[in-house]
Amino acid sequence: MEKRTLGSGGLTVSALGLGCMGMNQSYAPFPERTASIALIRTAVEHGITFFDTAEVYGPFTNEELVGEALRPVRDQVVIATKFGFRYEDGKSVGVSSRPEHIRAAAEGSLKRLGIETIDLYYQHRVDPSVPIEEVAGTVKQLIAEGKVRHFGMSEAGLDTIRRAHAVQPVAALQNEYSLWTQRPQVLDLLEELGIGLVAYSPLGKGFLAGKIDASTELDAFRSALPRFKPEAIAANRALVDLITSIATAKQATPAQIALAWLLALRPWIVPIPGTTKLHRLDENNAAAAIKLTVIDIAAIDAAVASVEVQGGRYTPQQEAMTGL
């Protein structure tokens, strides 16, 4: 698989990464731990070098899983994890990016992952009570100490990104980005500053793969989201139908077209689709070989523009936790 560079500091990763959250967070029922470990190791064999986790996934258990899976191939991969939440009784109860909390979180992640250095360390959600300059400065110190290699942010506002980048260069912004969640102004800023985009939920939490309709029995996570209410699903199927028609003409699947579209947008965008199934991993990986032309992109963009997506991507409470 081709490689891409995130940021100006030389962070090189596979063009597609693997989001590991769903292996034991949000998308129940979860596979057996041994099956997830086997899938992660197979992903490495198939050219994936970029793996995404976070302390809040579980909490904590996803990092342990990813760490165990990647330990035999540590020198071949890039591991990204995240800080930014506080916990009570093992559950997330809000954001915290106080310097002392960041340091404690980093030590915990290093131990759970079983590594000496975190390759890419994201602030998972902006903490409005802590100036972003303090957050960036703390990560800068961790980089100087050899505990972190690169700084990342997630779901941060444009001004916040610019201010953080002035203190410690941001290698990557992780945002939801897909055919049904686009923010061109974010791409403009990242291009200006030389920051990569790591696109999570590039398949719209599975919806853009074309397998979900109003009769699908959803997990608790998706069923709580406005876009996955039955009436929204019924309306949003028009988008999937258009993507499917384009995919059929290209002898591809809707999921592959959604990923290939992201890869074609900018050379510094890296989607991180998540899966727990080997055949989906192979399907996603094959998208990296699909080369869309300018005409293809224009046709896809026109199709997407013709459909008004129904429903918010998150609940109001969840959306309020982002910095957007």
122 with 148: CB under 8 angstroms?
no
Separation between Cα atoms, residue 297 and residue 274, nearest integer Å: 24
Tens digit of pLDDT for each residue in 241-276? 999 999 999 999 999 999 999 999 999 999 999 999
List of domains in the chain: 3-320 (3.20.20.100)
Query: Length of the chain, please?
Result: 324
Tens digit of pLDDT for each residue in 288-319? 999 999 999 999 999 999 999 999 999 998 89
> 189-217: buried (b, 16+ CB within 10 Å) or exposed (e) per residue?
bbeebbbbbbbbbbbbbbbbbbebeeeee
User: How many beta carbons lie within 10 A of that of residue 138, not counting itself?
Assistant: 25
- Mean pLDDT computed over every residue of the chain: 96
Q: Model confidence at 324, in pLDDT bands (50, 70, 90)?
A: confident
Which two tokens mark 114? 């079983």
Percent of the chain at pLDDT exceeding 90: 96
Catalytically active residues, by annotation: 57
